[in-house]
Structure 1
Amino acid sequence: MATNKEFDVIVIGGSYAGLSAAMALGRSLRSVLVLDSGRPCNLQTPHSHNFITQDGEKPATIAEKAKKQVLEYRTVHFLNGLALSGKKTGDGFVIATQADGQFYARKLIFATGISDIFPDIKGFAECWGISVIHCPYCHGYEFRGKQTGILANGERAFHITSLVNNLTDRITVLTSGKAAFNTEQVAKLNNRGIGIIETPVSEIIHENGHLKKVVLGDGQQLDFDAVYAAIPFTQHSDIPVSLGCELTENGHLKVDTMQKTTVNGVFACGDNAGMMRSVAYAVATGNLAGAMANHELTAETF
């Protein structure tokens, strides 16, 4: 770790999006500090998919390789540490960390991800990212043709079901309460033989995260191979909002097409700023955020 405290850019979050941003900046010889708390959103996910050249690779393996490559650029530095707070200064920002004091930068990039809020269902957390999944593009092919549940309701449930229907015809929607579908949606589900169960889910029986049965509140047990779940989330870091960054109505950091937040000099990338939760998306938006931070630095000094 470099002993200096001042950088062109501080990147908070050292997973795929943050490392991608750091690489773009390092290749322009910008001094960069990457702060990472070591808590990636996909900690339990066994394999990453839908990322060309890396399809099926372990997420941790991709991250380790990325970090090694990024740190080959001599102006990029990595610190294992937790960012606690941030504030605007006259010509940039100061970030306070848990154990290493304060660091200063002219620009900030937040690649901090999101924190999922798990429902009160026994076994849910242990299966998350393994057999209780969130994205047909990331996980659906591996569960093609399998007995599949959709743990959601209303428009969100209908949307996920429409995507999953192309992967399997063995689908049941688990609304955990009164179904909130309109007449047209119910007709489409019925026409495709997709069942709707309103009884709440109370437990997921599993073996090392691999789903065996879904237990309903009335004691009934259902056989499933996978369950898609639409669950709420919060921002992993509260620093962007404390700096004045706006959120979208869905809770993501609001960014423009250049990954700029609503606060000058602050960028965001990865799934803290968009609905697509994939490694490929994180890498792409991180690359853009790094390039645009460099563009702003250039415009200010050239």
Structure 2
Amino acid sequence: MYKSTYDVIIIGGSYSGLSAAMALGRSLRSVLILDGGNPCNWQTPHSHNFITQDGEQPHRIAQKAKEQVLSYKNVDFLEDYALLGKKTAAGFEILTEACKTFRSRKLLFATGIKDIMPDIEGFAECWGISAIHCPYCHGYEFKSEKTAILANGEQAFHMAGLVRNLTNNLSILTQGKPDFNDEQVSKLHKNEIRIIETPAVSLAHENGQLETLRFEDGSFLELKALYAALPFEQHSNIPEKLGCTLTESGHIEVDHFQKTSVPGIYACGDNTSRMRSVAYAVAAGNVAGAMINHELTLEDF
């Protein structure tokens, strides 16, 4: 049976939200986790670069975390979407898709982001499998393989330096005129990194595993991995509607304690940082949970 009022409502019940809930649950805070069951890495087969969990399936990590968090009886988990939020005299109020209303003293948004897929046939089916975002999360598995980077300018140049350490068969797909200065072009050529201007239009794959990439002019490129720097949008617009400041990159602005610009509202995980990894999400959630508990303690003590 769910209560109507909690110390903290956490919107988003994946790695970051669950990590915060554990810190709060162990501090005897009443917590409600609202989660729509749609994690951004749902089709990623394995999670890496997370000590003790290297190579584990992401959903198994989340499942085990949820089981452990819900062993604290003061933590509730409801599969539902948060639709609206408003400030109240006592804190905050959240209305869900199932027309349920909950109130809390503090809010934590661990809602993640929504990647905007490029107009390349087959890309979405490969995203998180062989079309990837992070060399730390996925790069080792594609070491020495034929690899490309779908980006331009500073993003592409930065990624090229990281990926070149993993493979010497590397191309940059700029999808049009390259945006590099002379020094960058010189370094790319020195490291035998090809720059391809012709737009890519489709990916041939087998169950998300890349085979070839086809260009607008009909030519092909054999590939095993494609790094991509995708645009994104916030998964939830509630933080912005409540007045939370967004950064130039589109993330929720937070301080070192995961506090947003609105008193009483915190955020953690992918919605606040370019560091998109399970390990980072767990760490940020742990900090957020501890800081929320600290703030509640100061108010009550």
Range into which the TM-score falls when normalised by the shorter chain: over 0.9
Matches within 5 A, 1:210-289: 210-289=209-288
Aligned partners of 2:146 and 2:223 also within 8 Å: yes
Matches within 5 A, 1:85-234: 85-234=84-233
SS in 1 for 2:83: strand
Deviation at 1:91, TM superposition (A): 1.7
Structure 2 Cα separation of the partners of residues 108 and 50 of structure 1: 29
Deviation at 1:100, TM superposition (A): 4.6
- Residue aligning to 1:50: 49
Aligned partners of 2:92 and 2:103 also within 8 Å: yes
Cα RMSD for the two superposed structures: 0.6
SS in 2 for 1:202: strand
SS in 1 for 2:270: helix
SS in 1 for 2:45: coil
TM-score (structure 1 length as normaliser): 0.99
SS in 2 for 1:270: coil
Structure 2 Cα separation of the partners of residues 156 and 231 of structure 1: 10
Letter in 2 for 1:254: E
Letter in 1 for 2:135: P
Structure 2 Cα separation of the partners of residues 297 and 3 of structure 1: 21
Aligned partners of 2:23 and 2:290 also within 8 Å: yes
SS in 1 for 2:217: coil
Aligned partners of 2:25 and 2:74 also within 8 Å: yes
Deviation at 1:115, TM superposition (A): 0.1
Cα 1:100/1:29, change in 2 over 3 Å: farther
SS in 2 for 1:234: strand
Letter in 1 for 2:126: C
Quote the sequence identity (%): 65
Structure 2 Cα separation of the partners of residues 90 and 5 of structure 1: 16
Letter in 2 for 1:266: I
Structure 1, residues 61-103: CA drift from partner, whole Å, max 9, x if none? 0000000000000100000001001000012000000115100
SS in 1 for 2:295: helix
Moved over 6 A (4+): none
SS in 1 for 2:195: strand
Matches within 5 A, 1:13-52: 13-52=12-51
Equivalent pairs counted in the alignment come to 301
Deviation at 1:3, TM superposition (A): 2.9
Letter in 1 for 2:44: T
SS in 2 for 1:142: helix
- In the alignment, structure 2 segments of 5+ residues that lack a partner are none
Letter in 1 for 2:172: V
Deviation at 1:7, TM superposition (A): 0.1
Structure 2 Cα separation of the partners of residues 18 and 113 of structure 1: 10
SS in 2 for 1:272: coil
Structure 1, residues 133-156: CA drift from partner, whole Å, max 9, x if none? 000000000000110001100000
SS in 2 for 1:129: coil
- In the alignment, structure 1 segments of 5+ residues that lack a partner are none
Aligned partners of 2:2 and 2:76 also within 8 Å: no
Letter in 2 for 1:60: H
